[in-house]
Amino acid sequence: MSDVVHPVPVTTEPRGVRFLVILLVLSLVAVLLLAPLAAVFSEALADGLPAALQALAQPDARSAIGLTLLVAVITVPLNAAVGIAAAWAIARFDFRGKAFLVTLIDLPFSVSPVVAGLALVLLFGSNSTLGGWLITHDMRIVFALPGIILATLFVTFPFVARELIPVMIEQGRAEEEAALTLGASGWRAFRTVTLPNIRWALLYGVLLCNARAMGEFGAVAVVSGKIRGETTTMPIMVEMLYNEYLATAAFSLAAALALLALVTLALKSLLEWRHADLLAATRRH
């Protein structure tokens, strides 16, 4: 019982001020985050749930959902693997150009997605040498699936590495070096020592990466070609439907996209709740 201490007030402001500040933050959250989400769902259900579900069952909407999931399934594991490798290299080794590599990883955060998309069009479009050659050999990059995947890879590149680098630097090399001196192979040391230590950060990075991969609009819009049922991802389909005055269909698809994001967030919360004690031991931010 000696642990029980009387709570020490950390602020000296009067109750009224604290209450006001809390109220301000809560109303900001309500206006900025909850209200738009609620508006999307209420618009989607404006004509009732059957109408919303029917809109989602349209072939174009179904293929948009399928394409978005396919893009996420391809890009998220790729970026997770590359992100782990990059974080490992940066946290565990000292080499020339390390600072440059870190900056490079951050590049997609600072470059507007539209610029990323246009860069792909410049590289692989029919007006470039490379693009012209690829097209005459029947390999389409822009205005086809590979372009969408490349654009998504670019914008989601930093998420995993950015989550892992601080965690791995903080943990240091000691545990892995111990494993290696005890005779573990590099792969085994990674699996049994590194991975358990970084799994929460990794999970968090993967979830963020996934949310962005499914939600990316700007870069994908430039390279999509907007061929219905073929190269329209969910965010692009949402915009097209909205521009065609099909509000119910547009907001149903937007709600479905929001739901996919909410499911990932719920999954994350569930895992955190299930492994709360483990989490407290390993995650320090």
Among 131, 158, 215, 235, binds another protein (CB under 8 A): 131
> Would you say 160 and 202 are in contact if contact means Cβ atoms under 8 Å apart?
yes
Shortest CB 230 distance to another protein, Å: 6
Shortest CB 201 distance to another protein, Å: 26
> Would you say 131 and 140 are in contact if contact means Cβ atoms under 8 Å apart?
no
Residues in contact with another protein, total (CB under 8 A)? Answer: 30
Rule CB under 8 A: is residue 45 a binding residue for another protein?
no
Residues 246-265, mask of contacts with another protein (x by CB under 8 A): xx------------------
Residues 15-44, mask of contacts with another protein (x by CB under 8 A): ------------------------------
> Would you say 261 and 207 are in contact if contact means Cβ atoms under 8 Å apart?
no
CA distance 231 to 115: 19
> Would you say 76 and 209 are in contact if contact means Cβ atoms under 8 Å apart?
yes
Q: Let me know how long the chain is.
A: 285
Rule CB under 8 A: is residue 129 a binding residue for another protein?
no
Shortest CB 159 distance to another protein, Å: 22
Token pair, residue 71, equals 């893009």
Nearest alpha-carbon partner for 204 in 151, 281, 269: 269
CA distance 148 to 209: 15
Rule CB under 8 A: is residue 93 a binding residue for another protein?
no
H-state helical runs in 96-194? 98-110, 113-124, 129-136, 145-156, 158-171, 174-181, 186-189
Among 146, 180, 258, 268, binds another protein (CB under 8 A): 146
CA distance 60 to 69: 14
Residues 214-243 that bind another protein (CB under 8 A): 225-231, 240, 243
Give 116 or 208: the residue with its C-beta nearer to another protein. Answer: 116
Cβ-proximal residues to 231 (8 Å cutoff; 6+ apart), any chain: 67, 143, 144, 145, 148, 224, 225
Rule CB under 8 A: is residue 245 a binding residue for another protein?
yes
Give 247 or 258: the residue with its C-beta nearer to another protein. Answer: 247
Rule CB under 8 A: is residue 143 a binding residue for another protein?
yes
Give 111 or 145: the residue with its C-beta nearer to another protein. Answer: 145
Shortest CB 272 distance to another protein, Å: 31
CA distance 132 to 134: 5
Token pair, residue 68, equals 């978005």
Shortest CB 240 distance to another protein, Å: 6
Residues 54-83 that bind another protein (CB under 8 A): 74
Rule CB under 8 A: is residue 144 a binding residue for another protein?
yes
> Would you say 153 and 212 are in contact if contact means Cβ atoms under 8 Å apart?
no
Give 57 or 107: the residue with its C-beta nearer to another protein. Answer: 57
Scanning 6-14, 92-100, 122-130, 265-273 for contacts with another protein by CB under 8 A, the matching segment is: 122-130
Token pair, residue 64, equals 């948009």
> Would you say 60 and 253 are in contact if contact means Cβ atoms under 8 Å apart?
no
Q: Which residues bind another protein (CB under 8 A)?
A: 74, 121, 124-127, 131, 135, 138-146, 225-231, 240, 243-247
